[in-house]
Amino acid sequence: MKLYSTNHQSPDVDLAEAVFRGLPPDNGLYMPTEFTKLPQSFWDNVHNLSLQEIAFEVSHALIGADVPSEDLRRLVNNAIDFPAPIVEVETNTYCLELFHGPSMAFKDFGARFMAALMSYFLQKSQKQIHILVATSGDTGGAVAQGFYKTSNIDVTILYPSGKVSDIQEKQLTTLGENVRALEVNGTFDDCQKLVKQAFLDKELTAKFDLASANSINIARLIPQAFYYVNAYAQLKKQGSDLPVIMAVPSGNFGNLSAGIIAWKLGLPVDKFIAATNVNNVVPAYLKSGIYEPISPSLSTISNAMDVGNPSNFPRMKALLDNDLETLRALVVGYFYDDETTKIAMKDVFDRTGYVMCPHTAVAYLGLKAYTNTLTKQVNGVFFSTAHYAKFLDVVEEVVGKQSIPERLEVLLSKEKQATAMTTEFADFKAWLMNNL
């Protein structure tokens, strides 16, 4: 597998280098230089394959010889050890549940696959890698779980004190072993700034092999293509061959970029719906052709999508030849405010009993808005990126008391272990020097 930088000012690299570097030196994004469509025989037979078998075929098509087949099969089986079912919520309207992994959000796919891949590449070396990651909530939990007990890798998570939910904080602070949490007396931006400064610090980078685990890493993108193909396979298994529409609740647009990768491998999708909250940079761009970041980003109840300048947007464009009309032919954008999102959560619950987190509801709304413009019958799939219990405050305000899955319930009784940290880089650096 060869990867180029979207800024075209850095040399092409192989997968291992792209994964450990994260970002190319020219600050672009790493992208595969070519996509080979999966053969027709694969698509004809896809409904007979398990998620893990699909994951192997898709990752093999992308990664090629960088990981030998047998190793890749083992790696995928370990990383993707939870299901991604579709649930029919209304006639021909399906929810793709991406929250059955350890942190109960779709970021588990990316984090677990990246951890497995890094660990595989490190196997033969004596190197110890130190992952630094800043989180506003969901990323940290998935990364912590993904790298938990991975040999040769430790993880330091920085999170803003008092600004993540109870459950999210417990997900970051109760694992122990090779996962440590720093509770920063500041905002998410402060956390991010500390991490960025550490990567630029000559003394730290000379002494330690630092790596990042943020959402622009190509290793997080690859496994997200798996569940698009798997969702299609499940529809096909039901014997339905209606055209397929997939609606993706989006923030940084990693998820939708992975969908477009799956499409480039041959996934038969009619349209993707880019559904956002009022941070509507991409839907606005699709409409006007003008790209205007929102700064600072707006706070909403679907806060994992509060992104004012989506970092994966250049990837999305590059996948479609940087051509607006090509993008418009495949992707339709919609955006919703909090009030509309809550009404959808309540409406779907009242009619069907199905509970959606706010992000999921945004995707549902986008799907319905688009399919209502059609005269033909379709299969619509809206993605549920998190279990509702991760956003229990707003969910219970809208639809009333709900049960919490046991996996999250047990967390609440565990004891938090975090080190308090100031926003001063000197303090953070001293801690790293003494503790890595």
The residue ranges that bind ligand PLP (CB under 6 A) are 105, 107, 138, 215, 249-255, 304-305, 359, 385-386
* Residue entry with tokens 């890698």: 129
Sequence-ordered list of residues with C-beta below 8 angstroms from that of 119, at least 6 positions apart, any chain: 150, 151, 152, 153
**Minimum Å distance from CB 170 to ligand PLP?**
17
Least distance from C-beta 47 to ligand PLP, angstroms? Answer: 26
- CA separation for the pair 131, 381 (Å, rounded): 35
In this complex, which beta carbon is closest to ligand PLP, that of residue 10 or of residue 252?
Answer: 252
Query: Cα angle at 141 between 140 and 147, to 5 degrees?
Result: 85
With a CB cutoff of 8 Å and minimum separation 6, the contacts of 246 are: 96, 228, 231, 259, 269, 271, 272, 273, 381, 382, 383
| Residue nearer to ligand PLP on the CB measure, 122 or 218 | 218
CB 366 → ligand PLP: shortest distance, Å? Answer: 13
- Closest CB to ligand PLP among residues 107, 368: 107
CA distance 82 to 391: 21
**What contacts 272, CB < 8 A, 6 or more positions away?**
245, 246, 247, 248, 256, 259, 260, 263, 330, 331, 332
* Smallest distance from ligand PLP to CB 98, Å: 9
One-letter amino acid for residue 236 of the chain:
K
Smallest gap from Cβ 137 to ligand PLP, in A, equals: 7
Q: CB of residue 362 vs ligand PLP: minimum separation in angstroms?
A: 9
CB closer to ligand PLP, 32 vs 249: 249
Question: What is the smallest separation between the CB atom of 80 and ligand PLP, expressed in angstroms?
Answer: 17
Residue closer to ligand PLP (CB basis): 16 or 298: 298
405 dihedral zone (left: phi>0; alpha: psi -120 to 50; beta): beta
Q: Count of alpha carbons within 13 Å of 310, Cβ hemisphere only? A: 29
Nearer to ligand PLP, 43 or 253 (CB): 253
Q: Which is nearer to ligand PLP, 120 or 391 (CB)?
A: 391
